């Protein structure tokens, strides 16, 4: 049912794209818009990971990285991927102070998972593992292609609606300039609603599967709370310029300062935390240390991490 629902919603996005083309250029405009949508879907299918990784300036990392914390991050991702029966994914770091993470790629064989430098600086090792397990769950559920294609079409709808002001505001069009302004506002909102419907159910499912992969739903719950608290205070300029890509992240990266952020593609963090705590209770797992106590960390991603035996139990010791 989840796959059927996603297919229907993607078809609705494509139909909306065609409807905007119909309004701007009549029947020929609709055909052109649908042809563009088909071409974009095909291009996104083959280049989904490259598009997003380049957009966010993601830097590939592996087990030979000179930073001990980054090596631990890579080792944990590869270990969990193998345990989940997934092919080896590309692992990358995004140079951003905002703590966040996402996965992309057309299928598990071509997947990439990314964490920001802010995420590695903020969370304990257990919490980083839980976050990346969530991203691997997206890969396992084959959400990455769907989310990238959805973001591509939704962004194109917003751009096409803006073009309507230039090409579709004459008196021969239904509603004239008023209809054009209404189209500029309503088409992106409709696209955002479809994005919400696709993304929210997939986030809950990725939380559940991610908790199974990492074996620690409480760590993911703590991580979500920390990321939510800090992401609201730290701007992600690339996401703000490309709001359609916000659904790729584990927590909404947008600061909520513009009309593009009116509808969130993510479920409420509190609801996700409650669902994870219920999973922990059903599994008989006890919550770990409080987030404030477990967050002790001794250095940014640009420095090596001490591993002395007298260090308190922390993220990378």
pLDDT digit string (tens) for 256-288? 554 444 456 688 899 999 999 999 988 776 665
Can you give the pLDDT at residue 217?
96
Q: Is the pLDDT of residue 81 over 80?
A: yes
Catalytic residue among 135, 203, 240, 281: 135
Which two tokens mark 264? 């969130």
Q: Is the pLDDT of residue 138 over 90?
A: yes
Can you give the pLDDT at residue 309?
32
317 vs 315: CA distance, rounded Å = 6
Instruction: Find the distance separating the first CA and the last CA of the chain, reported in whole Å.
Output: 44
- Domain boundaries of the chain, sorted by first residue: 2-294
Task: Tell me which of 70-79, 92-101, 147-156, 171-180 is least confident.
Answer: 171-180
3-state DSSP helix/strand/coil % of the chain, to nearest 5: 65, 5, 30
Average pLDDT, the chain: 77
Mean pLDDT value of segment 24-31? 73
pTM for this predicted structure? 0.73
90 vs 49: CA distance, rounded Å = 10
Alpha helices, H only, 56-115: 68-83
Residue 212 annotated among the catalytic residues of the structure: no
Percent of the chain at pLDDT above 70? 63
């Amino acid at each position: 049912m989840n796959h059927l629902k996603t297919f229907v919603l993607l078809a609705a996005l494509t139909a909306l794209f065609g409807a905007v083309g119909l309004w701007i250029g009549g029947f020929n405009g609709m055909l052109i818009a649908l042809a563009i949508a088909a071409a974009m879907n095909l291009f996104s299918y083959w280049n989904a990971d490259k598009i997003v990784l380049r957009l966010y300036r993601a830097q590939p990392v592996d087990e030979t990285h000179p930073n001990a914390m980054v090596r631990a991050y890579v080792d944990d991702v590869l270990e969990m991927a193998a345990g989940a029966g997934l092919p080896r994914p590309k692992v990358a770091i995004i140079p951003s102070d905002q703590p966040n993470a996402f996965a992309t790629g057309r299928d598990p064989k071509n997947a990439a998972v990314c964490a920001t430098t802010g995420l590695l600086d903020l969370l304990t090792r257990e919490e980083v593992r839980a976050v990346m397990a969530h991203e691997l769950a997206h890969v396992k559920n084959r959400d990455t292609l769907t989310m990238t294609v959805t973001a591509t079409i939704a962004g194109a709808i917003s751009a096409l609606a803006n073009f309507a002001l230039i090409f579709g505001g004459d008196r021969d069009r239904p509603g004239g300039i008023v209809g054009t302004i209404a189209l500029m506002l309503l088409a992106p909102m409709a696209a955002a609603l479809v994005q919400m419907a696709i993304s929210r159910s997939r986030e809950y499912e990725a939380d559940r599967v991610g908790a199974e992969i990492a074996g620690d739903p409480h760590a993911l719950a703590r991580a979500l709370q920390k990321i939510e608290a800090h992401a609201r205070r730290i701007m992600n300029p690339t996401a703000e310029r490309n709001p359609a890509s916000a659904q790729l992240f584990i927590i909404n990266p947008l600061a909520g300062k513009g009309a593009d952020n009116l509808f969130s593609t993510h479920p409420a963090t509190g609801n996700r935390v409650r669902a994870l705590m219920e999973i922990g209770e059903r599994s008989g797992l006890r919550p770990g240390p409080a987030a404030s106590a477990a967050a002790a960390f001794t250095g940014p991603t640009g420095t090596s991490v001490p591993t002395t035996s007298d260090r308190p139990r922390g993220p990378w010791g």
